[in-house]
Structure formats: structure tokens, C-alpha cells
Structure 1
Amino acid sequence: MAFVEFKDVTKYYQMGEVRIAAADGVTFSIEKGEFVIIVGPSGAGKTTVLNMLGGMDTCSGGSIELDGALISGYNSRQLTAYRRYDVGFVFQFYNLVQNLTALENVELASEICREPLPAEEVLREVGLTERMNNFPAQLSGGEQQRVAIARALAKNPKLLLCDEPTGALDYKTGKNILQLLQDTCRNTGRTVVVITHNQAFSAIADRVIRINSGKVVDMRCNPSPASAQTIEW
């Protein structure tokens, strides 16, 4: 049994008389500890898939399993616990609390978890030893994204989900953040899923899932993924 299993997953939205399929029979699997890129153009259904996997949205049909648990069968209370304990989220915009320091932002996540990692330790791991007591306004975009990643990792989640995590960053900083995510996956054995429209990211993944028009159009594994520092776009 794979760590993540999507089986014929659908998600429909009703817009007046029209029914729109954001996910139209999505099937894929992910193994534990893989670095996964889900790639596709804007409006392809990538974020819908991420939201369903992260328990932020429910599917209309099909089944979603994580680590042997049927997520698609959860009620709202179970989904809240799932989001809280099992999933770490990193978004394009950092969503930091502006009047808290980097350390306090990370500690915030630790407080809601069962077995959190020490906030100072995680900030050291993402290269922010000297910046722990700075407020978000005193940090660069790349540093703020590192805090956001540290906050997600401090929850000690089974799964790290990243939605366009380099979207608000310049080229060099974006590469550094990708390298950090790739290293995190390699060094901790944590399963990391990155959503992007950037095809170049495919080279660094263990597994690439291509989505278009709400369907998986291709899924393949890279026998030897590249380092994030070597790719160009």
C-alpha cells in the first residue's frame, strides 16, 4: 500500500446551472519519503488536489488515503485533527504573524501539535540561527519563507504540502528554498509535495505528476533526480 493513494477522485463545483469539474477522476500514488512535484498550468486542478490531500476541501467522489487512513471518509472534526497533526502547509505568501518574532511564529505551530519539534532547532536547520528574534518586517522574502517552512516542520507532520512556495521569490532565492525543501525530504525522510506551474522543477523530483483539465495526464519517477541548484528556468 502506497503512503498516499488517490483513486478516481472527483471534485465538482456548481455554478448556477453549470457543473465544473475541478478534479475529474484523479488517480495517483506517492511512496513515503518521496519528493513529489505536481505540475500543470494555471486552472489545471493542482491546488484542488492539494486542498483535498491536505484536508482543506472534500472530494465529490472516489477515495483519498494517507498512511492507511481513509481521509475522504473523515467528518469535519476528524479533518480538523488531520490538518492539525498530520499535515504541514507552505504557501506562496508566507502568512506570518507580523507582531511575533520568527521564533514565536514557529512556536505558535508547536503549541497545537502532539509531538512538535523544538522551534529553535528547526529554525537552525533552515539557516535562521541569527534571525530568530527578528520580526517578519525585518526579514527578506526568502527568510520569511524559511520561517514558514520551519513553522510547518515544527508540527512534525507526516506530510509537507507546498503550494507555489517560490512564487513570490526571485530566481536565486527560489532555488535556495527548493534546495531546502529537497534537503528536508532527504534528511528527514518526510514526504514532501510541491505544487507548481514551472516545468523545470520536474527534474528535481523523485516522482512527477502532471495534471491538466482536472486529470492526471502523466506520472513518472526520476531514477536520478537533479539537485535544485542545478536547474534553470
Structure 2
Amino acid sequence: MSNLISLKDVYKIYNEGREDEVRANNNINFDIQKGELTIMVGNSGAGKSTLLNILGGMDQATRGQVLVGDKNLTTLSSRELTTYRRLDVGFVFQFYNLVPNLTALENVELASEVVHDSLSPEEMLKNVGLRRRLHNFPAQMSGGEQQRVSIARAMAKNPKLLLADEPTGALDYKTGKQILQLFQDYVRTSGKNVIIVTHNSLIKPMADHVIEVSDGQIKEDYRNDKPIPVKDLEW
């Protein structure tokens, strides 16, 4: 299998050279193969979200090389990074970032319109269990429902790389498992990549690839030959 992502000697340093210097990512090296579901796990403040932002083109590494497909993100211009984010990446944030004056369906349609091979917005909302909420506005939905709209929006772009930052944090156990199953199915059916950032180490067995982050460094990096179906997970 070929690599989709390769990070080489990556650093993200805030206030470099000053007394209050912070190394959010400190000499990060890993490869992610095409078609893998990767779980990046670690405590709050470990540097996971910073890595996710770098992979998503929302932030740039201070030093090192970040290769995603045929692109070296560390050398892209601001405009090129914008194009990369728009066409190649789907984001699921901890905060839903929905447009308040658009319905659930319109929020998902907004994302699907920027790409050429989008999936059906209506179908994606049905897949996340929101068949009856298509025409509701965010203020008319619970936090968990809004999170599911944001997940449907990310998937509707049919992205090469789907990045999810604590995607089940606002969801109950049953809905959380449903969403994780969607991510697992997306990887299996599309051959594309999902990276989930989480502090919940109990979901690691569902992953093809596990990267454990602590204090801005990679502590463990291993592949799982027999990922288990989400329905068999317990946490």
C-alpha cells in the first residue's frame, strides 16, 4: 500500500526562542497509508488537534515536511492551502460551525457545492439519523443533532481526507457508535482516509492505525491487523 500522508521531522513551535516557547508538536514522524482509518489518541493538550490542523491546511508547521498525496503542505501558498482545504479535506470540529440562518439540509448543501463529486446532502443527513430534521435550523436542534449535521456536511464533500476532532464528544453512547460506524464504513467503501482525534482510548480497536500522542511527541505508532466492527466496541 502506498502512503497518502507522510510527516518528516515536523515541529510546531509557538513563540520560538522566547522564554514562553511552547512546542505543541516536537519532531513528529509518521506515515499513513491510503485507505486507513487512523485514530490519534492522547490527553487534552497532547498536541493532537495541532497536528490535525496542520494536516488539514489550517495551520502550517514551523519546520519539517508535511506530504499529503502529491502536495507538500509546508510549501503551499495561502491561496493553494485554501484550495486544498476546499477540495481535498472534510472537517468535523468539536464546535459545529453551522450557519445559523440555514437549515440542516442547506448547511450540508453549502459544503457539497464546492466540490465536483459530492455525495447527496439528503442521503448523508439520513445516514446520520436526521431524516426528520432536514428543514430545521441549528437553533431548533440539540448539540448532538448539530454535531451530526456537521458530520453529514463533511462527508457530503466526499473528501480524500476526512479529519474529525473529538467527533463523538457531544453525542450519547448509541449515537456516538452510529457515527463511528459511519466513519468506518466510509473508509471501507470509498478507500479514502479518516483520521479521528480523541482522548477516548477505548475506541482504538476499531482503527487500522493507531498513533498515540503525549507532550507533543509520538509515543506509539502501530497498525492493527484485525480492526473490530464498531458494534463490538464498549466504552
Q: Deviations over 1:90-142 (max 9, x none)?
A: 01222222221111011111232243333223323334333322222333443
Of 136, 140, 144, 1:138 maps to 140
Of 186, 204, 220, 2:222 maps to 220
- Does the CA contact (< 8 Å) of 1:142 and 1:177 recur in 2? no
1:224 Cα deviation after fit: 0.9
TM-score (norm 1): 0.93
- 2:139 maps to a residue whose letter is A
TM-score (norm 2): 0.92
In structure 1, distance between residues paired with 2:192 and 2:81: 21
Match in the other structure for 1:78: 80
- Does the CA contact (< 8 Å) of 2:105 and 2:121 recur in 1? yes
In structure 1, distance between residues paired with 2:182 and 2:120: 18
Match in the other structure for 1:58: 60
**Local SS of the residue matching 1:65:** strand
- Does the CA contact (< 8 Å) of 1:39 and 1:208 recur in 2? yes
1:86 Cα deviation after fit: 0.7
Cα gap change, 1:68 to 1:28, in 2 (>3 Å):
same
In structure 2, distance between residues paired with 1:187 and 1:27: 28
Of 151, 155, 158, 1:156 maps to 158
Match in the other structure for 2:203: 201
Match in the other structure for 2:6: 5
- Does the CA contact (< 8 Å) of 1:93 and 1:168 recur in 2? no
1:13 Cα deviation after fit: 0.4
* Aligned counterparts, 1:163-182, within 5 A: 163-182=165-184
Of 29, 41, 44, 1:42 maps to 44
In structure 1, distance between residues paired with 2:79 and 2:199: 32
- 1:4 maps to a residue whose letter is I
1:182 Cα deviation after fit: 1.5
- 2:9 maps to a residue whose letter is D
- 2:154 maps to a residue whose letter is A
- Does the CA contact (< 8 Å) of 2:100 and 2:138 recur in 1? yes
Of 19, 22, 27, 1:20 maps to 22
Identity value in percent: 55
- Does the CA contact (< 8 Å) of 2:15 and 2:22 recur in 1? yes
In structure 2, distance between residues paired with 1:149 and 1:63: 29
In structure 2, distance between residues paired with 1:128 and 1:168: 16
1:31 Cα deviation after fit: 1.0
| Number of residue pairs the alignment of both structures matches | 233
- Does the CA contact (< 8 Å) of 1:142 and 1:174 recur in 2? no
- Shifted more, 63-72 versus 118-127: the winner is 118-127
Gaps of 5+ in 1: none
Cα gap change, 1:140 to 1:228, in 2 (>3 Å):
farther
State whether structure 2 residue 131 is matched by structure 1 residue 129.
yes
Q: What is the aligned-residue RMSD (CA, Å)?
A: 1.7
1:24 Cα deviation after fit: 0.6
Q: Deviations over 1:49-76 (max 9, x none)?
A: 0000000100011100111211111111
1:17 Cα deviation after fit: 2.6
